[in-house]
Copies of this chain bind each other. A is one copy, B any other.
């Protein structure tokens, strides 16, 4: 069961070409994305209403239309059949592919798959991923995890796993004692962790020469329903001013592919302090990209996927896990999502 009246990120804008069809399965439904003749992104159900062949197997026409490969019916970006090449050319009124509202912003393509009218005010804000002064950007990346979205959100809202699963790379056992602060909003939740006087993880080697001194570190993660997360991680010298430290804003944007697989879109911006030495700048973006992909693909994914397999294979009655103090974020998330789903289905 998905929360449908919500924006879901479909793909990075650079993954949608202007002259081709792009198929993507979201919330268990196959969609086809295209840019119309003005370049505006459109999303249609990936299924010709005539014989149910995927439209994405067809041809993108320069007019911004899709031609079905099987019988040559043509559809515009709104999903309307606008050409039947056969016989008298009559087009039945029902000859429509369902279309979905799309917004392209800050290099991202978002789609609304619910029955209620789409609400642009609900779109999560990732303007920090735009290029600008005083920051360096990672690549805009994507992977598919073979696990349901809940397990991945829980992973991200649970900062404590960083000390173990990402030990050395993103954190260390020195950080486990840090307090966890929760802030809950209407459809959002933020988990904060402040870790003064801890060893610097590998992540900061890309900007901070490691000389054995301890650093002050913060690690905040904000979730906006249903799958838009942003983390804010930073380091200063002990007792230093945050404005003079290095700060990474990371986007983790999750969209269910199916109930047990999830699109994981990620990218980050590194904010540079005023006294930053710009000599190595060209190398820093790629290094940041590489470390983040490694952490998510090689460290998180195998564990979350194993967790998913356990849940799928085990009898339901044995699946009531114990709770620790560190589970405050995940527990709150589960409760908020349950309330949102109840609200959507009771309307």
Contacts and interface: CB of A to CB of B under 8 A. Distances in A.
A321 B48 CA distance: 8
Interface stretch (A108-116, A120-128, A286-294, A302-310): A302-310
18 contacts: A47-B310, A50-B322, A51-B307, A51-B321, A52-B314, A53-B306, A57-B302, A57-B306, A69-B164, A70-B161, A70-B165, A71-B161, A85-B164, A85-B176, A86-B176, A86-B326, A87-B177, A90-B324
A52 B325 contact: no
A279 interface: no
A88 interface: yes
Nearest to A325: B87
Contact of A49 (B161, B306, B322): B322
Interface in A157-209: 158, 160-161, 163-165, 173, 176-177, 179-180
A93 to B, nearest CB: 9
The A interface is mostly helix, strand or loop, or mixed, namely loop
Contacts of A85: 163-164, 173, 176
A161 B68 CA distance: 11
Interface residues of A, number: 51
Given A53-B306, A70-B161, 20 more contacts: A30-B310, A30-B313, A47-B310, A50-B321, A52-B319, A53-B307, A53-B310, A54-B306, A69-B164, A71-B160, A71-B164, A72-B173, A85-B163, A86-B324, A87-B176, A87-B326, A88-B325, A90-B325, A92-B323, A95-B322
Contacts of A310: 30, 47, 52-54
A323 B84 CA distance: 12
Interface in A26-65: 30, 47, 49-54, 57
Contacts of A339: none
A50 B69 CA distance: 51
A131 interface: no
B321 A70 contact: no
B322 A94 contact: yes
A318 B47 CA distance: 10
A164 B325 contact: no
B303 A69 contact: yes
